[in-house]
Structure 1
């Protein structure tokens, strides 16, 4: 029970932070997405439905949507200006939830509350050049003709882009997020005293047992481990750094018994409510003189096994000799990434 409460407490802490985001998927207000989508504006005409499930939106109650913004992906050196028309439909109640079970008929993927959010409108898509520090500013506003009230904590955004002919708009690829939620971890920073005080993580998927462990390189010392909600890089002197805030300190310090200083910490079984969270961890060893030695930092992405999609998209577009009509063409392709929208 105690170990279950440890993870549940961290879910509450990190969920509170994520709720401050205005983007879908949440958490990309000032962060570049892991992916990009080239087939909505990069190749036109085109149509795409983006599906944001509750884990992606992070909404805890009804959401009033007045406009949806997009930005260019930051990986490309430049994008050309071009003209097009855009129309947007939205829905939330009973939308498609599995990319492998979507219909080629767009309306069948919508919810029962589908409405035209923005009638067809002419746009002058601006050119851009690479920014020094991504992401780009929000560039394109899809302003609703009337607010859409989403009471279902999930959203389908169906965007049609019209151009008179098939064209390639170099390199107007939209910033996007990957919603594949299989867990992983990565390390950052450097350990000190010694520099090979390495730490790791395992069990970062739903129904697995989350564990942090490491090698403090000394026998007979007490080692601490904690989970945090913020990534830090704060000097604590002596060439050492604090790499995570201490949201939850493991209640059971480990006394090392081997010369490599092995220490392991069990945090409990990962609940479904933790899928999609990012937490941070670090370890510290207490020497016989009472000073601290510090490990590097660990960034842990909590996922699911088997893979679960918090969001996805279905689409089609014109390319080369292949024509496409956004009003009559079918949805033939799908992706595990979704456009990042700023919701206002």
Structure 2
């Protein structure tokens, strides 16, 4: 490994939430080691995440095009040509291993993340027994840098300034002084998603107070159609899915007062800007280490594990026994509203 390296390649290619979780860690790194250059290799779509981090370059990884399969060697060659001296592999998958193995042959050493697979397997297999908090993903990222000789204290995170709002975004927000709430009601798997009927109850109660502007986030044709229906009855609710560029969405998120999210990417997007996030947990559990950065345990609203003792049924929510898709329904809409009001006021 290079002695006293001055340039680190950071690899985290996907998924959106996992890439977003690197951002607070890299902000702390940048403020702790301002003389060390970082180059982040990730998918082009995620480049805006890293705006404003000093001494950080972005290396676009087109893993479905130019850098597909052995095209990753081309990416590794570009990283070497850019002068990287060591690698922080925050992904530890086949793709990142192809990159690091090429660089090892060029005498560029790497340290990879310990994902804690055995601990997570034990957590999923607890079958109703007592469970305890595992190391957070953010700390697992930080551990990689410590092994490279750069210890990090994540409590030193300083949130970036809010992004400037465009006239279009100002138009959506309006002139009335109201707290801004983002709601991202979707998740990749049914067991992690709060039913839209219950979310409608949450929104209705918030809307009736006339104290808040609520923005609905999502993506994809089906989700956009569902959000349009969710938006329609309410005076203070705006669906922004399909209406904004990704950069505009990030700018709006950075100006929120609170984000309500499932165990999914939007919570991590808000957290990387220092926004308060309330997360609803169904068949997954915060103890697996995927709580949005800097959010207190009190902001994690959990399904009733007494009624559904096998929670967490999986780490990512893709596996659960029959009936467990209803676990998240044990979080009452009133509980969600009370928590939102408590955090905001």
Scaled to the shorter chain, the TM-score interval is under 0.3
TM-score under structure 2 normalisation? 0.21
Which one has a larger percent strand, Structure 1 or Structure 2?
A: 1
- Larger CA Rg, structure 1 vs 2: 1
Q: Which one has more relative contact order, counting CA pairs under 8 Å at least 6 apart?
A: 1
Which one has a larger percent helix, Structure 1 or Structure 2?
A: 2
